[in-house]
Structure 1
Amino acid sequence: MKLRYHALLIDLDGTIYHGDKPIEGAAELIAFLRKQEWSYRFVTNNSSATPMQVAERLNNMGIDAEPDDVCTSAQATAYYIKQHMPKARVMMIGEYGLQQALLEQGITITDEQPDIVVQGIDRSFTYEKAIKAVQAIRDGATSIMTNPDLLLPANGGFIPGAGSIGAMLKAASGKEPVIIGKPSRILIQYALDKLNCAAEQALVVGDNMLTDIRSGVEAGCDTVLLYTGLTTPANVEEYRKLAECEPTYCYTDLYELKQALMS
């Protein structure tokens, strides 16, 4: 495997950690990748945190990480806008991570006559924000959603995610958004671009058939499904049917993945 692939694109929640607890073997895998000088990126649908905040969270769990190791859906969203509509005025529904990503690309954020409405998770979301966003989209603004996750784990339960807000905006505006995060290929392609790596040279690693594996397949990458989170041997067949795709490799845990990379 080592001779065939040059880079790993690694999911976080369910693959590297559960909440604030690292998954067994995570620190060892990253230490191995660093020692062997493998290229890799942590690829997350999270649009609320900056790469620095994500890296700090990983380091607090004992997993070595630098901000440059992280690719977020917010970064990929800002990059997509800069590539396709560099002079666009953007209305933002989101949090600090999305705001910083847009500003770092030199994108103008405004509520007045926007060309684009960008929407991610927003735990301060209000009806007034919804009104402005829907009116802008109906008036012709392009709708972009950082990621389609309907639910996020929080305090042992779940809270509405970016996809839940997006579902309302879509229903009210009648327009389909451009989706950046997994299962879209756009986030994966952003990570590949940052690594200067061709799709066929990369492995997408994750625990979720519907997001991680699907996005890897859509981007033209081989994929690794781990039974460390959402997908298990008991439900994998169900998720295969729902995702309408197949992983290239399946491993029980991160130790097995590390062994495969050593072979």
Structure 2
Amino acid sequence: MSARWSYLTDMDGVLVREEHLIKGADDFLAELRDNGIKFLVLTNNSIYTPRDLRARLLRTGLDVPEEAIWTSALATAKFLDSQRPNGSAFVIGEAGLTTALHEAGYVLTDRDPDYVVLGETRTYSFTAITKAIRLIEAGAKFIATNPDPTGPSVEGVLPATGSIAALIERATGRSPYFVGKPNPLMMRSALRALGTHSEHTVMIGDRMDTDVHAGIEAGLQTVLVLTGISTRESAERYPYRPTLVIDSVADLLGRTGDPFATDPPPPLS
């Protein structure tokens, strides 16, 4: 294996959790920057633009440039641009998604769109969902930014894109195409944005079902951190395993050049 790695890292559960910095995350990113190691911060959340996310991360103490942030909204816009350049879409989502589609040359409309694109929002509208169902029945293709059924909040879990997609699918009988993790398409689009190859890239995440799954599907080495969703016990239930399991990204300090040089994949339990 190469002794020079690039990194894709999830955001929530790896670098921050509920708007708070995860201990060691700032030092980890600083080490990557100081050593000229390429990295992208990934998120399935399509609500925010990279500029918004940069501001959010700055409040926690993390300085991540906009160009180092890759969202499911950006991946969705890239995918649609490759499928039907300068197309049209009816969008349920926030500025992160609408901005990405506008910048890809898409027209946002509720009149005979090419696609219905479902993303994340904290204010899902029954009227908008009904409109989406009718447009899909009329022939619009159904795209969703990510399959996550729930998202976190201070008060507890919230219904997310995957849950609303299931509602629309049940009403229309049409399954959406999910662009975000665990679809390896998001990993490949991130690799292209980073300008690196899967053989020399590590995916760091806190979820077996999205981060590790997507990384394996895209041919990446994978690192599971235990600062978010998955635990050592829950990881045992999956038929695949990460290359490395660590308590947090702080465990990578001093070894970001090659995180696998001295440690074979440890047992999950």
Whole-Å Cα distance in 1 between the matches of residues 4 and 31 of structure 2?
17
Whole-Å Cα distance in 1 between the matches of residues 148 and 52 of structure 2?
20
Cα offset, 1:35, TM superposition: 0.1
Structure 1 residue 253 and structure 2 residue 252: aligned?
Answer: no
Deviation per CA, 1:25-46: give whole Å up to 9, x if none.
0000000000000000000001
Residues 196 and 254 of structure 1, relative CA distance in 2, 3 Å threshold: same
Deviation per CA, 1:155-183: give whole Å up to 9, x if none.
23111111111111111111111101111
Whole-Å Cα distance in 2 between the matches of residues 4 and 68 of structure 1?
21
Deviation per CA, 1:94-138: give whole Å up to 9, x if none.
111111111111111100001100001133322221221111112
Whole-Å Cα distance in 2 between the matches of residues 89 and 213 of structure 1?
33
Whole-Å Cα distance in 1 between the matches of residues 35 and 130 of structure 2?
52
- Aligned partner of 1:19: which letter? E
Cα offset, 1:184, TM superposition: 1.0
Whole-Å Cα distance in 2 between the matches of residues 38 and 47 of structure 1?
26
Q: Which residue of structure 2 lines up, in the alignment, with residue 3 of structure 1?
A: 3
* SS at 2:204 equivalent: strand
What TM-score results when the alignment is normalised by the length of structure 2? 0.92
- Moved segments of 4+, more than 6 Å: none
Sequence identity percentage: 36
Between 83-92 and 28-37, the greater mean CA deviation after superposition: 83-92
Whole-Å Cα distance in 2 between the matches of residues 149 and 235 of structure 1?
17
Q: Which residue of structure 2 lines up, in the alignment, with residue 207 of structure 1?
A: 206
Whole-Å Cα distance in 2 between the matches of residues 156 and 2 of structure 1?
44
For the aligned residue pairs, the C-alpha RMSD in angstroms reads: 1.4
- Aligned partner of 2:147: which letter? P
Structure 1 residue 81 and structure 2 residue 80: aligned?
Answer: yes
Whole-Å Cα distance in 2 between the matches of residues 233 and 258 of structure 1?
21
Alpha carbons 2:201, 2:221 under 8 Å: kept: yes
* SS at 1:91 equivalent: strand
* SS at 2:167 equivalent: helix
Whole-Å Cα distance in 2 between the matches of residues 149 and 106 of structure 1?
27
Alpha carbons 1:206, 1:225 under 8 Å: kept: yes
Q: Which residue of structure 1 lines up, in the alignment, with residue 167 of structure 2?
A: 168
- Aligned partner of 1:152: which letter? G
Structure 1 residue 90 and structure 2 residue 75: aligned?
Answer: no
Whole-Å Cα distance in 1 between the matches of residues 175 and 207 of structure 2?
24
Alpha carbons 2:40, 2:190 under 8 Å: kept: yes
Whole-Å Cα distance in 2 between the matches of residues 123 and 227 of structure 1?
27
* SS at 1:163 equivalent: helix
Alpha carbons 2:86, 2:105 under 8 Å: kept: no
* SS at 1:234 equivalent: helix
How many equivalent pairs are there?
258
What TM-score results when the alignment is normalised by the length of structure 1? 0.94
Matches within 5 A, 1:110-121: 110-121=109-120
